[in-house]
């Protein structure tokens, strides 16, 4: 079943073509790495999928429908920036999420927070950037969504926590859901990827199974990424 479909999707910011003719299909049950340099269009694509931007041309379909209230019920999205109210506690933020999302699993969130040594009574503003990112990721992964979209979830966290995050993704991920993870820290995550989507200058230059690429190029996705983008 196709969970996400992008058809001839383009986005222009004024004269700047941020995304051009993107055609993409993501079936359910896949972990997809959205890889690309800074400014290649990763976040633009993600924002279009989440209805935070309007396409210049083309369309996005989630579960066969245009993005909207329904799609927000099944898409769990981790933006690149935190959007929490700074002056409330983690506990209060959990309550918001529980109110907002029918599929939010409070018990799971509490357990994950505990595992990561995060204090529910602490206010967001009193937390470091890395801690805030962890809280956000916990909240996003605690929804029982069909499609998870994580925009640069690893940037601000230490390597030990990265491993924990990958474990969290693998443990909590149900087989019918799909997950799109955008990052440039490829070597840390590439072993959990099913598919790789490589985006450069607003275009998809490669969309292939990770192991097919390793077989073909006889090297890691990270090395392929470096090589492909040098030639581009």
Partner 1 sequence: MNTIENNSPVYLQIAEKLATQIFGGKLGPGAQLSSVREIALSERVNPNTVQKALGELERDGLILSRSTNGKFVTEDVELIMRRREEYAERLTKSYEKKMKDVGAEITMPKIMWLTDEQLDVLTKPEKNKERRKWFF
Q: How far is the CB of 125 from partner 1 (least distance, A)?
A: 34
Query: Least distance (Å) from partner 1 to the CB of residue 217?
Result: 9
Q: Which residue, 74 or 223, is less far from partner 1 as judged by CB?
A: 223
Between residues 103 and 211, which has the closer beta carbon with respect to partner 1?
Answer: 211
Q: Using the minimum distance from each CB to partner 1, give the nearer residue, 120 or 188.
A: 188
Q: Which is nearer to partner 1, 48 or 180 (CB)?
A: 180
Instruction: Tell the smallest beta-carbon distance from residue 19 to partner 1 (Å).
Output: 27
Nearest CA to 78 out of 3, 136, 4 is that of 136
Q: Which is nearer to partner 1, 73 or 220 (CB)?
A: 220
Contact 39, 48 (CB under 8 A): no
> Cβ atoms within 10 A of the Cβ of 42, count?
24
Nearer to partner 1, 32 or 199 (CB): 32
Q: How many CB atoms lie within 10 A of CB 142?
A: 26
Minimum CB separation of residue 192 from partner 1 in Å reads: 5
Burial class (CB in 10 A: 0-12, 13-18, 19+), 56: middle
Q: Which is nearer to partner 1, 144 or 201 (CB)?
A: 144
Closest distance to partner 1 from the beta carbon of 56 (Å): 34
Strand, helix or coil for residue 42: helix
How far apart are alpha carbons 172 and 108 in whole angstroms? 9
CA distances from 182 to 103, 116, 120 (A): 23, 22, 28
3 state SS of 167: helix
CB 124 within 8 A of CB 86: yes
Question: Shortest Cβ distance from residue 208 to partner 1 (Å)?
Answer: 12
Which residues contact partner 1 (rule: CB under 8 A)?
Answer: 29-31, 163, 166-167, 170-171, 175, 187, 190-194, 210-211, 214-215, 218-223
Question: What minimum distance in Å lies between the beta carbon of 167 and partner 1?
Answer: 7
SS (H, E, C) 76-127: EEECCCCCCCCCCEHHHHHHHHHHHCCCECHHHHHHHHHHCCCCCCCEHHHC
């Amino acid at each position: 079943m196709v969970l996400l479909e992008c058809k001839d999707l383009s986005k222009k910011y004024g004269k700047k073509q941020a995304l051009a003719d993107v055609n993409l299909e993501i079936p359910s049950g896949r972990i997809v790495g959205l890889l690309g340099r800074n400014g290649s269009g990763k976040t633009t694509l993600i924002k279009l999928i989440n209805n935070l931007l309007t396409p210049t041309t083309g369309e996005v379909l989630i579960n066969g429908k245009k993005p909207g209230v329904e799609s927000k019920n099944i898409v769990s999205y981790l933006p690149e920036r935190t959007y929490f109210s700074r002056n409330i506690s983690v506990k209060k933020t959990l309550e918001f999420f529980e109110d907002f999302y029918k599929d939010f699993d409070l018990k799971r969130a509490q357990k994950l927070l505990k595992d990561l040594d995060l204090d529910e009574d602490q206010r967001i503003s009193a937390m470091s950037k890395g801690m805030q990112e962890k809280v956000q990721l916990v909240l996003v992964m605690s929804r029982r969504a069909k499609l998870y979209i994580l925009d640069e979830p690893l940037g601000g966290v230490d390597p030990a926590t990265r491993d924990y995050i990958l474990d969290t993704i693998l443990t909590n991920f149900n087989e019918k859901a799909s997950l799109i993870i955008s990052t440039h820290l490829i070597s840390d995550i590439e072993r959990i990827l099913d598919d790789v989507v490589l985006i450069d200058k607003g275009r998809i230059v490669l969309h292939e199974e990770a192991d097919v690429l390793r077989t073909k190029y006889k090297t890691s996705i990270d090395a392929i990424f470096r090589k492909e983008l040098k030639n581009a």
